Amino acid sequence: MDTPVLLLDLDALHRNIARMAEFSKTTGCRVRPHVKSHKTPRVARMQIDAGAIGVTCAKLGEAEAMVAGGITSILISTELVGESKLARLTSLARHANITTVFDNRTAAAAVAAAAKQADVTLGALVDVNVAQDRTGVEPGTPGADLAEYVAGLPNLRFEGLQGYEGNLQHVYDPGERRTRCDEAMGKLLATRRAVEARGLPVRIVSTAGTGTCAFAAAHEGVTEVQPGSYIFMDADYLSVGGLPFELALTLLTTVISRPRRGVAIVDAGFKSISTDAGMPRVSGDGGLVYKPHGDEHGRLESPNDDVLPALGGVVQLVPSHCDTTVNLHDNFFVVRDGRVQAIWTIAARGRVS
């Protein structure tokens, strides 16, 4: 393999998918995994075959790649605005069961008009701001008002609520994370009760990620969760206490220079591995420290020169954030017991619109 390349441990991937499937069976809470971590229809199919009810996509481009790969039940969890996006959305709805989200009347009316013109029907969730302060209508009465409005629009099928507390996924202490998740679920379920008081059935309450799904599922009224990173994990998620998932994704990189003692230069820099969640870790117990050293280069450091790899040696880096690292690559090199078993195309790589 010409480095840098993403290595995907097939057995660890299977175990992570199986653990999430067992969680769903045990709790009765459905799983609709987020594809923004893997961006690959083949992995999505593995998740669905294990019991997931469909997938969640952050962007239309991801949804298009999933539909092209045969995935037909999709929640698009981000608000969509603009004629181009609505044309793409309604086109997708001819080929798959598509649900999308709204946090205001203007966008909902525009989607309904586009769906009516295209003669398609879309599932609709009201997006509720429960913790993240990003998108979302305020909980309670404002959420119920919007739900009532959406339910009255043509070619939209009101299904329920979304309330994602993404800001809590990387709270390392389990006790603090649970407390804050419980607060968020309180807001989301209060909105559910307010909607139901208007006589509207709420079939779906979708929420949570890898770090909070176990806590969210304990709340009666939450119907599905949207974990994504659990299939791979990363250096940041491995620091989040209480999660039962294991590392499945690393980046293989080669030493291309040994310019001085205590330093080795590798062929993985900013274009190969992301640093938005901190520095990647060097796999193993050698005590090596990795730092990016430009677009194409990285730097391994150690006070003990003897533990640094020789020229041409390889090391595996643990990404600090799996989602953004995956989006830098075209393929996964799927390995088992140290041997490459397959190469899987990352079909939605770069699909950010």
Asked whether the beta carbons of 66 and 75 are under 8 A apart, the reply is no
The 3-state DSSP class for residue 289 equals strand
Task: Tell me the mean pLDDT in the region 273-291.
Answer: 94
The 3-state DSSP class for residue 340 equals strand
Q: Calculate the average pLDDT of the chain.
A: 97
Residue 106 has a pLDDT of 98
Closest CA to 4 of 254, 232, 235, 326: 254
Residue 24, H or E segment: helix 10-27
Task: Tell me the mean pLDDT in the region 4-22.
Answer: 98
Confidence class for position 261, pLDDT limits 50, 70, 90:
very high
Closest CA to 170 of 228, 213, 225, 211: 211
Asked whether the beta carbons of 41 and 70 are under 8 A apart, the reply is yes
- pLDDT digit string, tens, across residues 213-224: 999 999 999 999
pLDDT at 9 over 80: yes
Q: Which of 38-42, 76-80, 286-290 has the lowest mean pLDDT?
A: 286-290
Give percent above pLDDT 90 in the chain: 98
10 burial via Cβ count (<10 Å: 0-12, 13-18, 19+): middle
- pLDDT digit string, tens, across residues 149-160: 999 999 999 999
pLDDT at 285 over 80: no
Task: Tell me the mean pLDDT in the region 259-276.
Answer: 97
Alpha carbon distance 188, 116 (integer Å): 30
Task: Tell me the mean pLDDT in the region 300-320.
Answer: 96
Residue 286 has a pLDDT of 84
Which structural domains are found in the chain, ordered by start?
10-231 (3.20.20.10), 249-345 (2.40.37.20)
Asked whether the beta carbons of 1 and 333 are under 8 A apart, the reply is yes
Task: Tell me the mean pLDDT in the region 69-80.
Answer: 98
pLDDT at 177 over 90: yes
- pLDDT digit string, tens, across residues 14-69: 999 999 999 999 999 999 999 999 999 999 999 999 999 999 999 999 999 999 99
Asked whether the beta carbons of 32 and 52 are under 8 A apart, the reply is yes
Asked whether the beta carbons of 105 and 127 are under 8 A apart, the reply is no
- pLDDT digit string, tens, across residues 110-132: 999 999 999 999 999 999 999 99
Residue 205, H or E segment: strand 204-207
Asked whether the beta carbons of 7 and 13 are under 8 A apart, the reply is no
